[in-house]
Amino acid sequence: MPQPPSPAARDAAARAPGTAAAHRAAGGTATDTHCPYCALQCGMTLHPTAAAGTGAGAGHGPGPEPAPEPGVSVAVAERPGFPVNRGALCGKGRTAPAVLASRTRLTTPLIRRPDGELAPAGWDEALDRIAEGLARTRTAYGPDAVGVFGGGGLTNEKAYALGKFARLVLGTSQIDYNGRFCMSSAAAAGTAAFGLDRGLPFPLADIPRTGCVILVGANPAETMPPALRYFTELRENGGKLVVVDPRRTRTAEQADLHLAPRPGTDLALALGMLHLVVAEGRVDEEFVAARTAGWPEARSAAMAHWPELVERITGVPLPALREAVALFCDAPASMVLTARGPEQQSKGTDTVGAWINLCLATGRAGRPLSGYGALTGQGNGQGGREHGQKADQLPGYRKLTDPAARAHVAEVWGVSPDSLPGPGRSAYELLDALGGDVRALLLMGSNPVVSAPRAGHVEERIRSLGFLAVADVVLSDTARLADVVLPVAQWAEETGTTTSLEGRVLLRRRAVTPPAGVRTDLEVLNSLAARLGWEKGFPTDPEEVFDELRRASAGGPADYSGITYRRIADGDGVFWPCAEGAAAGAEPSSRTAGAGRTGGGSGTPRLFLDRFAHPDGRARFAAVTHRPAAEEPDADYPVHLTTGRVLAQYQSGAQTRRVDALNTAAPGPFVQLHPQLAERLGAAEGEPLAVTSRRGRTVAAARISPDIRPDTVFMPFHWPGEGRANTVTNPALDPVSRMPEFKVCAVRVERVP
């Protein structure tokens, strides 16, 4: 039975080209790598602890100053040469080494003993227990009784190996990941419109050079602060920024025009703007005729949304709507960028499609410095869905239902295409099935007890499982419920690739050795596969896994076959698609780059410049109409709730809530409400408020601010327990993307006696 590599073998592997050990062996003292948090994947440099006190606080950008952490073996410094963040780091990035400290993370496996408590155990006992639990469930109830749940923070190698493990070793179709909650609606709409989904089809560096950006439901000033400079530079260059958000966020404060629609009405807003484009004669008829299909149907749908109706639906005044259209259309080039606001809705795919329609009708897509893009949230949200941990996809962004795709991947894996299971449940549907059809779960890199909608129900389903195994860096809120918990390595302790929101494939380098007792996720999958009868096929060397991923992706929409570790080790990454054989330094042909099939030295930074990725080269309009949110306010629940993030915390907070400096900056949950609503409630700043929906009740401190609509309250979703925002959110699903409606539900707000 294969065993994980010895420390000596690990060190030898770490000396491969581009790794930290190789750098140090050559006389270096620092490791260039990337931040473990958001999809900007900011470049940073890690110094040995001896540099702490100088390097730890060297980064610039908003956020708290990091405090020294015992046991941290590296300190963060800026890396000005990386083009995305150009040295700027937010507080989360600068304090990232704190989670490496032994006092904050897991360093030994845990097994639930007969007394009900989690207790330390050896690796062999823990792995045997997991293998036995998964095998027993599969034998008794069939392969689909075993589920696998992954994460958008896993490297490409780990996401690929996890999908392969689920489909080959377990034979289950029941695999999905928390990236489904990130930008699945944008992915579905982008694929339908353009034939290909890549978060941004152009580099961030193009943003300051365009004429106008409409930023819909995004708050980069808090979610990805180093990106805010691109919008600042846009305005410094004479461009205009329009922000669409029901709150006046830090980003909205920078805008030339802020539109504050009622939550859940972004679709009507986009349709109203397209109506004005048609009525005012601003359609680019030549572009529409030459490069698109489906315009008559989309035009007819938009014309049913006359401006006065849209004003009543959205609450956005008609003069502001006209001004937004003028800013967008009068500029020589324009962009629309969406994020979770319009996407995390039960009509998110249609909403994004409507914003894409606006770009297509005005000729603001498939042209230099113009287009539609989605701001991916999670660190590897893009790569995570491209390579196999999403319920309906195989590596290379191939469809699991496509016979040719199945045949290609099966050949790489050395199995029959017929042996591969079909598509499984989406993320929330999988979580909802726990304890029912799905009786055992292997979970890696996710914390759904905090992050899933209707989280109280999800927690009940997880507790009802016959068997739960969790591999994580920390003892997360979900891991506390597990039968077995495995301590795994994290960003600075292992090498692997991630794919940023630009589609830029990057190499995160190992800088330190994991603590004794910690193994990598690849080692975990290798050991479990061996125990379940697969002696081969699950290597522990990330570069070996990536080379197989390259072969599996070759010829697919997300073609990584021309990307190698050596090619990205010393550079700024390579944009996919990048087909094998693309000469380094060569520029891709405009036709193949537009189709998303190949790339030169830097891959394909800009897509669709001559053609879109549909077989006929044309983009597709979406004939969509407005419909209400799945749940609208009524007499019992009269207020909208919307959710989001704050600057100093990240996602479910499993890691950032363990960093003292970040907790000082953002110590706990709150309810943001308008002074008018606070007056009606008799609520004072800081007092506890109960927010209740049809799904549950959460309590947090009042934060009174004029920067939110009077009919809306906002809660961040980073905390568990009484202040867990996702206790009350609505799991209503988009029919196409299966995205839950995190961003709008009906609630009642009350003072707590």
Question: pLDDT-derived band of residue 22, with 50, 70 and 90 as boundaries?
Answer: very low
Residue 138 CB-half CA count within 13 A: 21
Residue 250 CB-half CA count within 13 A: 15
Residue 53 has pLDDT above 60, yes or no: no
Q: What pLDDT shows up at residue 89?
A: 96
The fraction of the chain above a pLDDT of 70, given in percent, is 91
Q: What pLDDT shows up at residue 29?
A: 78
Q: What pLDDT shows up at residue 73?
A: 80
Residue 752 and residue 699: Cα distance in Å, rounded? 8
Q: What pLDDT shows up at residue 600?
A: 56
Residue 594 has pLDDT above 50, yes or no: no
Least confident of 85-94, 100-109, 490-499, 744-753: 100-109
Mean pLDDT of 318-324: 98
Q: What pLDDT shows up at residue 101?
A: 86
- Higher-confidence residue of 66 and 325: namely 325
255-298 pLDDT, tens digit per residue, is 999 999 999 999 999 999 999 999 999 999 999 999 999 999 99
Residue 134 has pLDDT above 60, yes or no: yes
Residue 601 and residue 470: Cα distance in Å, rounded? 40
Question: pLDDT-derived band of residue 586, with 50, 70 and 90 as boundaries?
Answer: very low
Residue 66 has pLDDT above 60, yes or no: no
CA atoms 431, 432, 435, 436: torsion sign? negative
Is 56 buried (19+), middle (13-18) or exposed (0-12) by CB count in 10 A?
buried
Q: How many CB atoms lie within 10 A of CB 635?
A: 6
Question: pLDDT-derived band of residue 72, with 50, 70 and 90 as boundaries?
Answer: low
Q: What pLDDT shows up at residue 48?
A: 83
Q: What pLDDT shows up at residue 103?
A: 82
Domain 639-751 has CATH 3.50.50.60: no
CATH number for region 110-179+380-534: 3.40.50.740
Q: What pLDDT shows up at residue 285?
A: 98
Mean pLDDT of 162-181: 97
Question: pLDDT-derived band of residue 67, with 50, 70 and 90 as boundaries?
Answer: very low
Could you tell me the maximum CA-CA distance found in the chain, to the nearest angstrom? 73
Residue 222 has pLDDT above 90, yes or no: yes
Average per-residue pLDDT for the chain: 91
Residue 64 has pLDDT above 80, yes or no: no
Which residue type, as a one-letter code, is found at position 470? Answer: V
- CA 594 to chain CA centroid, nearest Å: 25
Q: What pLDDT shows up at residue 104?
A: 84
405-414 pLDDT, tens digit per residue, is 999 999 999 9
Mean pLDDT of 136-157: 97
Question: pLDDT-derived band of residue 3, with 50, 70 and 90 as boundaries?
Answer: very low
Q: What pLDDT shows up at residue 587?
A: 37
Q: What pLDDT shows up at residue 504?
A: 96
Question: pLDDT-derived band of residue 571, with 50, 70 and 90 as boundaries?
Answer: confident
Domain coordinates of the chain in residue numbers? 35-104, 110-179+380-534, 185-379, 639-751
Q: Which tokens go with 552?
A: 């599996």
CATH architecture group of domain 185-379: 3-Layer(aba) Sandwich (3.40)
Q: What pLDDT shows up at residue 581?
A: 78
Is 180 in contact with 425 (CB distance < 8 Å)? no
Q: What is the 3-state secondary structure (H, E, C) of 318-386?
A: HHHHHHHHHHHHHCCCEEEEECHHHHCCCCHHHHHHHHHHHHHHCCCCCCCCCEEEECCCCCCHHHHHH
Residue 465 and residue 549: Cα distance in Å, rounded? 32
Q: What pLDDT shows up at residue 170?
A: 98
Is 655 in contact with 473 (CB distance < 8 Å)? yes
Residue 60 has pLDDT above 50, yes or no: no
Distances (CA, A) of 437 to 142, 176, 456, 735: 10, 15, 19, 22
Task: Give the neighbor-by-neighbor strand order of the sheet with 240-244.
Answer: 257-259, 240-244, 212-216, 334-338, 371-374
470-490 pLDDT, tens digit per residue, is 999 999 999 999 999 999 999
Mean pLDDT of 499-512: 95
- Higher-confidence residue of 697 and 74: namely 697
Q: What pLDDT shows up at residue 393?
A: 95
Q: What pLDDT shows up at residue 582?
A: 60
Residue 35 has pLDDT above 80, yes or no: yes
The fraction of the chain above a pLDDT of 90, given in percent, is 86
CA atoms 399, 405, 407, 412: torsion sign? negative
